[in-house]
Amino acid sequence: MTALVQLTDVSKFYGNIRALEGVSLEVHAGEITCVLGDNGAGKSTLIKIIAGLHRHDAGTFEIEGEAARLDSPREALDRGIATVYQDLAVVPLMPVWRNFFLGSEPTRGAGPFKRLDVQKMRETTRAELLRMGIDLRDVDQPIGTLSGGERQCVAIARAVYFGAKVLVLDEPTAALGVKQSGVVLKYVAAARDAGLGVVLITHNPHHAYLVGDRFVLLKRGAMAGSHAKSEIALDELTRQMAGGSELEQLSHELERAPGPDVIGGRPVEDAAAADGPGDVARKD
């Protein structure tokens, strides 16, 4: 089956600085591909290439089997790639329905009588959120009054409604608690079940393993591993994510050196000074 998005040996350089080198991944319909890495691993650069914000310098980038070099996020969106960043690009004081259609507002009338179709936006927002299983009290409330998890879910529902085939999520659970993270992951799985290909960027292997089908690990701009879920257990994924052998080496370096022998709660030297040579000899 042709991948919705496929990157093969993609690299990106900023002068002499290597941001990405030789990174490959596939995104299929109805699957979640998780990209894991620590800060500075190259996750943000990868997002910007897929989202059309930056062009890659080497390798191939294919959309549904066709080579692509995207010039802008709008072009990526027209090709069915929607990106939801951590800041969500919402206006906190505007209602939920206005944020849902932000930049793509439907209108009615013509000429000087042209105006926003507010009723359609309200009804569509409520219906689409319900279809994703999100039951908001009131779509007229400012989106800034929603929890972080609810705002993420609105952004996901918006991408699904506007025809996204590939949904790229940038650290959607990074600033959320356990319960809200669970809510977001549930709607990420709902987007997958709706037939979208999902790219989940995260540094949390436990969240990734709950919903992921494929895992790509990045380290300092290069690939540190690529696995299907059936090929790797959570413990091994966590170990690779944490640095594996480097972490083991660090643990050895941080082990405390053996302390002095202790007698009665005091080092031997102190005990000898207090009791005299004879007492210490008898204790030996």
Would 273 be classed as within a structural domain? no
Give yes or no for a contact between 190 and 119, defined as CB atoms under 8 angstroms apart: no
**Tokens read off for 119:** 């009723």
pTM of the entire predicted model: 0.78
Would 281 be classed as within a structural domain? no
Would 253 be classed as within a structural domain? no
Would 280 be classed as within a structural domain? no
Domain count, the chain: 1
* CATH code for the domain of 16: 3.40.50.300
A 10 A CB-CB count for 125 gives 24
Would 140 be classed as within a structural domain? yes
Would 114 be classed as within a structural domain? yes
Query: Which of 25-39, 100-114, 150-164, 253-267 has the weakest average pLDDT?
Result: 253-267
Would 191 be classed as within a structural domain? yes
Domain limits for position 209: 5-243
Would 223 be classed as within a structural domain? yes
Query: pLDDT tens, 24-63?
Result: 999 999 999 999 988 888 888 898 899 988 888 889 999 9
Query: Positive or negative CA dihedral for 26, 29, 34, 39?
Result: positive
Give yes or no for a contact between 170 and 86, defined as CB atoms under 8 angstroms apart: yes
Query: pLDDT tens, 147-200?
Result: 888 888 888 888 888 888 999 998 888 878 888 888 888 889 988 988 899 999
